[in-house]
Amino acid sequence: MRLSRCYFSARNSAKSSIDYCVDAVRKHDYEHYLCALLVPRGARDAVIAIRAFNVETSQIRDLVTDRQTGKMRLQFWRDTIDTIFKDERAPDHPVAMALAHVSLLHVANYNLQ
């Protein structure tokens, strides 16, 4: 079977977004990074993506000086999660792309309603 170039670029994109997430979790949430290493390989990317999402959202308070900017960042993540679970294209953000990738692999089999 011959795979298209699009498939390889999507896999490379997912891999690079997971790498970004691993680096973020290792740098900002080392204890959970170590715990993620104990998770079976098949679920590790999902755990890392979720922990990276936690890192992104928990840093909002520390990174912004204006309350409205913080609200806008939180709204971005709300919209991103909604977009991912509506099976639409995730924003061009490494953590969002990683969440979208793992949701296709792990969450698509569950009815979350």
Residue 93 φ/ψ, nearest 5 degrees:
-135, 135
CA atoms within 13 A on the CB side of 40: 2
Across 59-83, average pLDDT: 94
Closest CA to 62 of 28, 20, 103: 28
Instruction: Specify the pTM.
Output: 0.80
Contact of 70 with 64, CB cutoff 8 Å: yes
Per residue in 5-60, pLDDT (tens digit) is 333 345 556 679 999 999 999 999 999 999 999 999 989 999 999 999 999 999 99
Residue entry with tokens 């900002």: 28
